[in-house]
Structure 1
Amino acid sequence: MSLVVAIVGRPNVGKSTLFNRLVGKRLALVDDRPGVTRDRREAEGKLADLRFRIVDTAGLEEADPDSLAGRMRAQTERAIGDAHVIVFVMDARTGVLPADKPFAELVRRSGKPVILLANKAEGREGMQGAYDAWELGLGEPVAFSAEHGEGLGELYDALVTHMPPEAAGDAFEDPEEADLARGAAPVELDPLDEESDEDGDATPVGKPVQIAIIGRPNAGKSTLINRMLGEDRLLVGPEAGITRDAITVPWEWRGKSVKLIDTAGMRRRARVQEKLEKLSVSDGLRAMRFAEVVVVLLDATIPFEKQDLTIVDLVEREGRAVVIGLNKWDLVADQPKLLGELREKATRLLPQVKNAPVVPLSGLAGNGIDKLMEAVFSVYATWNRRISTAKLNRWLGDAISANPPPAVSGRRIKIRYCTQVKARPPHFSFFGNQLHALPKSYTRYLVNSLRDNFDLPGVPIRYSLRVGKNPFDKG
């Protein structure tokens, strides 16, 4: 089990900047204003040859437990309880403030090893503040600059004393290479690769399925994930727009490994004015690109608004498998009738992911989660599926016989054969002559026929048209 290091401190002392520095990526949102981070964010951190689990937390504030700030503090306290080592960050430029002292006492009472980090210590003014940090009673402060990467050697020396033997000495950059060096079995891949001409899929064995939950603000995304996990892992409340960072949490459903990604609510672009909200939406879109299946969560009391359709269109353009979740289903009257209407509406309004599963559920009550996950793994299997060339060409012959392509300038368009060139999502190539003149209506006919004949619901279908070289063309 890897060492867990929690970064704590009052707001705006540079915790998220330190988190990004140790992770080596700009994962956490960073802004000049205080209180940007709300949820706990975890990632694999590294410092020289040390490997550990790093946790970014919300700034500690005195607040009513039922308020948003109070709930944020509860999340931070839970991170302190789960950590093996605590990095307490203070701002060396402002020096020790009265707000630092009660939280230093909170950390001290936890009984966990504490590293006192005086951040923003670059320059003479910062160094003076670092010396003042002694009065917190947490031991010798480490003068540091997360923004400029100064003091990493001193932080290494402070961390290495708390590291278990297996966390140090791993200088491999590639995680798989490091695992193999430690004697771990290599990840087995499906023998059917990109060039395979047989039915099947190319899904890595044992790899967690990445599932992003996206939707409009206040659709219940964080509440749903908390219910799945069986704990209050994510910050929730009646306020819209609580989630800012895209938070990834591991989970297991019926023995299958999953990574759930919670994202910030996405409003219409015209309404997104603040820089912080733009960063949150951008982080959510990045999470969607790394996901394999996207659950678009709709509020069942006001489903299929224009923004919902725009979000599904974004997911389709990124080539991800789609499941439509109708949350807050327990608030709906006449459920059977409405479900039939909404499924018909989804088919009509979302032809690009035709027949995508529409699953009613309640994140608050915990109803429908198993059906949602069954739909997720079903579309995931479809997204990875490969269809043999022989079956595709039998289908193509029947499709052309039923509806031949039109003639162009007196010459008939010929589609000679079809093959699948990729999966994740399925991508098909059609070969023939004059295919550049093939009308959009006919390519839609082919895609819809493909989807219906080979049962490809809820996944984008890509295609390319390839024309052979004319042997009589002397150019």
Structure 2
Amino acid sequence: MLPTVAIIGRPNVGKSTLFNRLVGKKLALVDDTPGVTRDRREGQGRLFDLEFTIVDTAGYEDEDPDTLPGRMRMQTEAAIAGAQVALFLIDGRVGVTPLDEEIARWLRGSATPVVLAVNKAEGKQGDNGILESYALGFGDPIAISGEHGEGMADLFQALLPHIDGGAFEVQDPEAPDAILKLAIVGRPNAGKSTLINKLLGENRLITGPEAGITRDSISIDWIWTDPDPKQGEPDEEGNIPPLLTERRVRLIDTAGMRKRAKVQDKLEKLSVADARHAIDFAEVVVLLLDATKGLEVQDLKIADHVIQEGRALIIAINKWDVAENASSLFNGIRGALEEGLSQLKGVPLIAVSAMTGKGLDPLLSAAFDAREAWNKRVPTGILNRWFEAAVAANPPPAPGGKRIKLRYMTQARNRPPTFVIFGNRTDELPASYARYLLNGIRRDLDFGAVPVRINFRSSKNPFADNN
């Protein structure tokens, strides 16, 4: 485990900008509007040869715990409690505000060491703020600019006593024990954050009746204890040990995705774009439906986007504990999916409840099975024996009386499984025949409902130009 640095400060002092600089990429949404960040976001940070987990927190506001700002503050307090050091950020251009003083009083009462940094101090713009910050009681402040990268050497020296350093984890993404990157997507208020909180067994993400609470895509590493693990080889005494009883998951919570025509607000546009980026990052995507609303056109559009991006898809119907006419609802959604997602038949459909925990273990089990199929490679010999049998059983058509000859097939890649078929005049092959091969690959080679792609390549005819 890497040591943890939590960034804390009032809204709009530049916490997310500094977070993005330390992780080396634009993970957190950044905007001039105060309060963009709501949940705490974690990333792997690096400052010269220091490596750590960096946590971007919501702006600390003194509000009632039942309000949205109050719930945001509780998340910030939890982040500080779990950190090795708190990086307290103030705005050097504005100087020390009453809320900065309130945060400082709270930090002095916590057990977590504090490093004070004055942001937006490029040039001499932060001089007054630097002088004022001494009154907060944390010693010499560090003058930095998260946007321009100034002061990073001084920040390194300030963090060094609190961080032992570490190394980034390097993993083979195709290994059975690799972290499963699992994104939860869906329309607003489908219960995505509540579902993740139930899996974690804690209120890690802010939830509530307000639509659109989640803005950033938040990733959280977690260990799932598989109640029904796969079995290993028998030992000398004949005992069959379980394999991978503890399985690593990177849960990714995303903002609700409404119809594009309804998304007018700039921040919501950024949030939806971030959710789409999370789909690109994931291996398996769970599309969460609301059982009280059923399947809508927007759900099918989200599912189609997941499939087009080549990610394994699972559909979960949430709020099953309050669903009416459950059996007919399930069958109705299944039928609508078969019709609306005709390009990918048999997508797993699982009923869950984020409130009671129903169906969550089957959901995780299905996700690992989907990742296994998504990772799968078929040996060339097995693949071509299947291919020869499939072509013999249903030969390609002969448009214009000229036969299309398909010669051999290879798997070009996995994640998602992609195959290349070589032959002559493959550009004249009808789409229906390509679907025949695609469905056969899924069915006979055990790829299930993961997206499978086929590309066709024609051999060059050396006599084509000799007329």
Relative to the length of structure 1, the TM-score reads: 0.90
The answer (yes or no) to whether the contact 1:353–1:457 under 8 Å persists in 2 is: no
For 1:215-242, what per-residue CA distance to the aligned partner results, in whole angstroms no more than 9, with x for missing partners?
1111111110110011111111111111
Q: Which residue matches 2:157?
A: 157
Verify: 1:324 aligned to 2:318, yes or no: no
RMSD, matched Cα: 1.9
Moved more, 271-280 or 445-454: 445-454
Task: Give the drift of 1:401.
Answer: 4.4
Residues 329 and 86 of structure 1: CA distance in aligned 2, closer, same or farther (over 3 Å): same
Q: Give the SS at the match of 1:60.
A: coil
Partner of 1:461 in structure 2?
452
CA distance in 2, matches of 1:414, 1:155: 66
Q: Is the 1:122–1:145 Cα contact (8 Å) retained in structure 2?
A: yes
Which amino acid in structure 2 is aligned with residue 239 of structure 1?
Answer: E
How far apart, in 2, do the equivalents of 1:12 and 1:306 lie?
A: 37
Note the C-alpha offset of 1:350. Answer: 0.9
Counterpart position of 1:199: none
Give distance in 1, aligned partners of 2:65 and 2:192: 22
What amino acid is the match of 1:23? V
Does residue 130 of structure 2 align to residue 130 of structure 1? yes
In structure 2, the residue matched to 1:249 is 220
Q: Is the 8 A contact 2:84 2:163 kept in 1?
A: no
Which residue is equivalent to 1:69?
A: 69
Task: Trace 1:142-221 onto structure 2 (pairs within 5 A).
Answer: 142-164=142-164, 167=165, 176=170, 203-221=174-192
Q: Distance in 2 between matches of 1:421 and 1:15?
A: 43
CA contact (8 A) 1:323 1:458 kept: no
- Aligned residue type for 2:190: A
Q: What is residue 107 of structure 2 aligned with on the other side?
A: 107
Measured in 1, the distance between the counterparts of 2:375 and 2:125 equals: 57
Deviations 1:306-359 (A, max 9, x none): 111111111111111111111111121232332233223222211222101000
Of the structure 1 ranges 39-48 and 407-416, higher mean CA displacement relative to structure 2 is found in 407-416
In 1, Cα distance between equivalents of 2:316 and 2:135: 53
Does the residue aligned with 2:174 lie in a helix, a strand or coil? coil
Label 1:471 to 1:153 Cα distance change in 2 as closer, same or farther (>3 A).
closer
Aligned to 2:208: 237
- What is the distance in 1 between the residues matched to 2:212 and 2:86? 29
Match of 1:348 among 333, 339, 344: 339
Partner of 1:195: none
* Compared CA separation, residues 306 and 113, structure 1 to 2 (3 A): same
Paired residue for 1:52? Answer: 52
- Whether the aligned pair in 1 keeps the contact of 2:416 and 2:451 (CA below 8 Å) is yes
Is structure 2 residue 430 aligned with structure 1 residue 433?
A: no
Return the letter of the residue paired with 1:132: E
In structure 2, what is the equivalent of residue 280 of structure 1?
Answer: 271
1:205 shift after superposition: 4.3
For 1:353, what is the secondary structure of its paired residue? coil
* Partner residue, 1:224: 195
Alpha-carbon distance between aligned partners in 2 of 1:175 and 1:371, rounded to the nearest angstrom: 28
Distance 1:405 1:55, change over 3 A: same
Question: Per the alignment, in what secondary structure is the counterpart of residue 378 of structure 1?
Answer: helix
Q: CA deviation at 1:397?
A: 4.1
Rounded to whole Å, the distance in 2 between the matches of 1:205 and 1:367 is 26
1:191-214 per-residue CA deviation (whole Å, 9 max, x = no partner) reads xxxxxxxxxxx8224320111111
Q: Distance in 2 between matches of 1:314 and 1:426?
A: 17
Equivalent residue letter for 2:214: T
Unaligned runs of 5+ residues in structure 2 are: 227-245
Displacement after TM superposition at 1:283 (Å)? 1.3
Counterparts in 2 of 1:344 and 1:453: CA distance versus 1, 3 Å:
farther
Q: CA deviation at 1:361?
A: 0.3
Which whole-Å deviations, capped at 9, do the CAs of 1:373-425 have from their partners, x for residues lacking one?
11111111111122334444444444444443222122122223333222211
Give the corresponding residue for 1:379.
370
Query: Would you say 1:86 and 2:57 are equivalent positions?
Result: no
Moved more, 310-319 or 202-211: 202-211
Report Cα offsets for 1:58-79 as digits up to 9, x if no partner. Answer: 0011111101000001101111
Q: What secondary structure, in the 3-state scheme, does the structure 2 residue paired with 1:315 have?
A: helix
- Please name the residue that 1:182 is paired with: none
SS of structure 1 residue aligned to 2:124: helix
Q: 1:402 to 1:205 in 2, by over 3 A?
A: closer
Q: Distance in 2 between matches of 1:23 and 1:433?
A: 49
CA distance change for structure 1 residues 394 and 45 in 2, over 3 Å: closer, same or farther? closer
Q: Which amino acid aligns with 1:326?
A: I
Aligned residue pairs total: 446
Task: Judge conservation of contact 1:322–1:353 (CA < 8 Å) in 2.
Answer: no
State the alpha-carbon separation in 2 of the partners of residues 260 and 38 from structure 1.
Answer: 17
Looking at structure 2, the residues matched to 401 and 344 of structure 1 have their Cα atoms a distance apart, in angstroms, of 33
Q: Note the 1:399-414 alignment, pairs <5 A.
A: 399-414=390-405
Distance 2:294 2:404 in 1: 43
> Which stretch of the first structure deviates more once superposed, 224-233 or 404-413?
404-413
Matches within 5 A, 1:358-369: 358-369=349-360
Determine the C-alpha separation between the residues in 1 that align with 2:46 and 2:303. Answer: 36
**Alpha carbons of structure 1 residues 424 and 332: separation in structure 2 relative to 1, 3 Å:** same
State the SS of the aligned residue for 1:44: strand
Counterpart code for 1:446? L
- Distance in 2 (CA, whole Å) between partners of 1:141 and 1:467 is 67
Measured in 2, the distance between the counterparts of 1:357 and 1:391 equals 27
In the superposition, relative to structure 1, how do residues 125 and 464 fare at CA in structure 2: closer, same or farther (>3 Å)? closer
Aligned-pair distance for 1:473?
A: 2.6
Distance 1:469 1:125, change over 3 A: closer
Q: Give the Cα–Cα distance (whole angstroms) in 1 for the partners of residues 61 and 27 of structure 2.
A: 23
4+ residue stretches of structure 1 with deviation over 4 A?
none
Q: Which residue of 2 is the match for residue 196 of structure 1?
A: none
Residues 214 and 221, structure 1, Cα contact 8 Å, conserved in 2: yes
